[in-house]
Structure 1
Amino acid sequence: MKVSVIIPACNEADSLLPVIKEVQKMKPFEIIVVVNGSSDTTKEIAEGAGCRVVYYEEALGINIGRAIGAKKAKGDILLFLDGDIAVPHEELMKYTKAIETGHDIALNNLSWIMKRKVRPHPVSVAKYMLNLCLQREDLSIQALTAIPHAIKKTSAAKIGYENLAHPPLAHTIALLKGMSIVAPCSSDVIYTNKIRTTHKTIPTNSPFPISTNYIIGDHIKALAHLIEEKGIRGGLTDGDRNREVVSAYTPNVKRKTGVKYSAVIPAGEEKETIANVIKEVKKAGVEEIIVVANGADEVTVKRAIEAGATVLHYKQRLGHNVPRAIGAMYSSGEVCLFVDGDIVISAEHLRPYLEAADQGVDVALNNLECLLDEVHPIHSVSAAKYFLNIVCKRPDLTINTTTAIPHAIKRDVMEKVGYESLIIPPLFQLKSIMYGFMVQPVHFVDVARTNRIRKEHMKVKGLAASTQRILGDYVEAMAYYISQTSERGEFLPDIRRHDLLFEVLNNE
């Protein structure tokens, strides 16, 4: 099979020749250098080295050069590189070999990045989140965003050359089409990458540099395509939630006046823990305690009543977080504290959430940030939480969301955001931030290690049922976000020269 090597290059006079020399050792069919926006001798160096040069005086924008080169290439295999990183030819041949043996796409295996004892970069979080939503956890952060990578020419055509200008979108399309994607080699393009102005310049109204802004925007666009193809949950399960019960629910009593704190406790078969959960909530100073028993045994219900809670009893399980919404709608307090019926949390660890609400915090979260320094690679659910906060331009929140208990929410927030949004915790968090409420982590309670392991937490094939449901919640939150903003969210608009790309696509 013939190999076409494609190298976009802008002002790479000091680094291009070593890249080309390594490629030439492979004896490829052709080397295409797409020179664009250069003011140095990049074009002359490429021509002098015998490359096929496609020249544009103006800058094309990131990845447009790759797409143009792919369309113009005549080989059976397309190998993509950058003009500033020389990759040993022995490694490059592993990518082309993977295509020769029948795969559609061969990616750079950068999973080692996630195993380092450091917090993941927002771009890595975005890559991992996309693969998780595509139910390919095994791909980790492998992505078309990183070079080197190789694509079968016929597969590139099926993906659409125009989509190669948006690597996360191309990656998504390839997986939705069932293409075979592997990562046959690990090439270090992290420590060898040239630091550019776009890596350091932070635009207004963003906590991220320009390059990160573009890449996150590209990932949102990819998720928008997934949502368009698979629905608002991206094809992920909803976990048998009974949403209709919330839509139809109207409390049969008037809201009490003068209640400062309420607690909402969903409970199934929690007879061993429910009394102590209620006891600690009372000690924290909560006046009204509502247990939403759903699919619960009689002993759990009896012990909840004996402990002084108001019990809303449903014979069938309502599904995750549905009881929270019902309990919140029934409750009267100015602040609602949310805990679970199976984890006993001491009053000492519950009070900080109530105190934070008293001091002006609208949504007081469990501060699980320390897990970022303890768990490597990052857990899949933590990656989803982190990605949502990145999209909200609140990277300071890291992995803290209303998915984790305990948390406290003010009544006016629930009224404004909508009680039904409590069914989907990340959607509630997203709306709270978009409406301008103060969302802050306030205290650490270790609910990760104390959580009871259930059947839905166990992996059988692919993602565990609980993980798939939670990821679906985050995709649903993204669907709302995209509907309220754009296919790139509120990140930098796409200013790439698609017009020049389409000229090539229409004329070749």
Structure 2
Amino acid sequence: MRSGKSKRVSGTGSGSRKGSGRGRRPGKTAGTSHHAAYNAGVAEGTSLNQSGGGRLSGHEAKLQMNERWTRRCMAKGASAGTAGKRIQESRAFAAGFAAALGQPDSAWQPVQLTRSAAAVVFAGPDANPASIRQLLRLPLEEIIVVQEGASEAQFAELKALPEIKILNPGEPLGADVWRAVGARVTRADIVLFADAAQLIEAEKLAQLLGAVQAGADVALVSYASRLGPFREWDDLMRVRAFVNWTLGRKELGVSSIGLLPHVWARSAMDAVGVKMLAVPPLAHVTAIQQRLRVQACPIAKRTANESGKSYQGLPPQASRKLTNESLQTVFGDHIEALRAAMKLKGARLAMPDNSRCRSAAGGAE
């Protein structure tokens, strides 16, 4: 494991071009705050350009933009969470900043961060490079792509993307082991875990990063508003909800560390143990038992992206279709996690029996 802060990886952006501050401004329907944010971004970008910032790579310029956005938010006393109107303001600021540096098509998505952030991404045979391009919009120090089972063409396509580091173990790692492998490579303070098979807009991922910046130890996606009737839940949804209920965290619903994407604080990963990340249900149970701040974030359902289109919420199923063998492994992992919890807290965990005095009968409390 490396020590020290994450090393910034220079990208191949067009940061060397000097801009005049002109670029695509917020539309006529944007609010006054959006125009103010855009103009503030132009001013900050112009200042950086005049001080030699025009020679920065696109990656470095993006991080510089985010530092200035963070300072602006803190000066205004804004919370670290990124949602709704704040997303639009941050995008306007980034657009103005990029225009001033001659990068009007950058589509950066700022996040209020005072700590370093990175992403660890699994890229299997069904990896979608477009999902990694969404990560490139975020102010991440580095993006670690753990590749397994990809073809030569897929590898070449991933390698052509800027700002990423590809880890190719050369042998099958087994389910979810990539999480621990990638977590050991980066020393960032905040780590986003994602699956390249999922195409998720940067705006959604920004909200998870913002939740950890604001104080959460683990930020999960909340599915409470789109679960549907219990009879329509699949088996994994029911198992995950049962685990949360037995641990006294009923409000988490079906949200789980087993589902991607989610975000960890480095301190929380160290407390649980990086090795534990290879068995997500066990990491989930351990995090709750250690009273870490595990938070299910209600991600905004509809937010305009850079193309003007909108997206809906994430499905509460697993990120990729599981085979019967894989399902058995996941169910077994949940049983293992519950057994570990019962060894520490007793057989009934957070479920008191109010109708029987089991201690008198010689059974579990």
Q: Please give the range of the TM-score, normalised by the shorter of the 2 chains.
A: 0.5 to 0.7
Q: CA deviation at 1:254?
A: 4.1
Rounded Cα–Cα distance in structure 2 between residues aligned with 1:321 and 1:395:
25
Task: Specify the code of the residue in structure 2 equivalent to 1:466.
Answer: S
Return the offset for 1:492: 3.0
| Residue matched to 2:337 | 477
Structure 1 partner of 2:177 = 322
Equivalent position of 2:103 in the other structure: none
Q: How far apart are 1:305 and its partner, in Å? A: 2.3
Q: Deviations over 1:91-146 (max 9, x none)?
A: xxxxxxxxxxxxxxxxxxxxxxxxxxxxxxxxxxxxxxxxxxxxxxxxxxxxxxxx
1:256 match: 5
Matched with 1:495 is: 357
**How far off is 1:466 after superposition?**
3.0
After TM superposition, give the deviation of residue 382 of structure 1 in Å: 0.7
Q: Deviations over 1:359-395 (max 9, x none)?
A: 1111000112234325633211011111111111011
- Counterpart residue number, 1:304: 158
1: distance between equivalents of 2:321 and 2:292?
34
Of 198, 219, 223, the match for 1:364: 219
Residue 336 of structure 1, CA deviation: 0.5
Structure 1 pair 371–424 and aligned structure 2 pair: CA distance change class (3 A):
farther
Check conservation: 2:220, 2:255, Cα contact below 8 A.
yes
Aligned positions, number: 240
Task: Name the structure 1 match of 2:102.
Answer: none
How far apart are the structure 2 equivalents of 1:442 and 1:305? Answer: 32
Query: Which runs of structure 2 are paired with 1:145-184 in the superposition (5 Å)?
Result: none
Which residues in structure 2 correspond to 1:234-253 (within 5 Å)? 251=1, 253=2
Which is worse superposed, 254-263 or 276-285?
Answer: 254-263
What displacement does 1:304 show? 2.2
In the alignment, the residues of structure 2 paired with residue 365 and residue 497 of structure 1 have an alpha-carbon distance, to the nearest angstrom, of 37
In 1, Cα distance between equivalents of 2:146 and 2:117: 17
Q: CA offset at residue 431 of structure 1?
A: 1.2
What code does the residue aligned with 2:314 have? Answer: D
For residues 234-276 of structure 1, give each alpha carbon's deviation from its aligned partner in whole angstroms, at most 9, with x where no partner exists.
Answer: xxxxxxxxxxxxxxxxx4x5453477111011112135x1x21
Q: Does 1:408 align with 2:276?
A: no
* Structure 1 residue 284 corresponds to structure 2 residue 138: yes
Q: CA deviation at 1:439?
A: 0.8
Q: Give the direction of change, closer, same or farther, for the CA distance of 1:394–1:371 in structure 2 (3 Å limit).
A: same
The root-mean-square deviation of aligned C-alpha atoms, in Å, is 2.5
Instruction: Describe how 1:24-43 pairs up with structure 2 within 5 A.
Output: none
The aligned residue for residue 446 of structure 1 is 314
- The TM-score with structure 2 as length reference comes to 0.60
C-alpha contact 1:266 1:323 (8 A) present in aligned 2: yes
Residue type of the alignment partner of 1:311: I
Deviations 1:167-221 (A, max 9, x none): xxxxxxxxxxxxxxxxxxxxxxxxxxxxxxxxxxxxxxxxxxxxxxxxxxxxxxx
Partner secondary structure for residue 373 of structure 1: coil
CA displacement at 1:465 relative to structure 2: 2.6
CA distance in 2, matches of 1:283, 1:435: 34
Indicate whether 1:269 and 2:125 are aligned.
yes
- Output the CA distance in 1 between the equivalents of 2:351 and 2:225: 28
Distance, in Å, in 2 between the alignment partners of 1:440 and 1:448 is 16
Q: Distance in 2 between matches of 1:263 and 1:500?
A: 50
- The 2-side partners of 1:483 and 1:500 are apart by 17
Distance in 1 between residues matched to 2:5 and 2:159, nearest whole Å: 19
Q: Report the Cα offset of residue 499 of structure 1.
A: 5.4
Structure 1's unaligned 5+ residue stretches are 1-250, 457-463, 502-508
CA distance in 1, matches of 2:359, 2:342: 23
Output the CA distance in 1 between the equivalents of 2:178 and 2:196. 11
Question: Percent identity of the aligned residues?
Answer: 27
Deviation of the 1:337 alpha carbon = 0.4
Cα deviation per residue 1:265-321 (whole Å; 9 max; x = unaligned)?
1112135x1x21221012022221001112332223222222131011122221221
Maintained 8 Å contact 1:276/1:344? yes
Residues 47-446 of structure 1: pairs in structure 2 closer than 5 A: 251=1, 253-257=2-6, 260-270=116-126, 273=128, 275-308=129-162, 309-374=164-229, 376-444=231-299, 445-446=313-314
For 2:261 and 2:361, the matched residues in 1 are separated by: 51
Aligned partners of 2:130, 2:190: CA distance in 1, in Å? 21
Deviation at 1:447, TM superposition (A): 4.0
8 Å contact 2:259–2:318 — kept in the other structure?
no
- Secondary structure (helix, strand or coil) at the match of 2:207 reads helix
Normalised by the size of structure 1, how large is the TM-score? Answer: 0.44
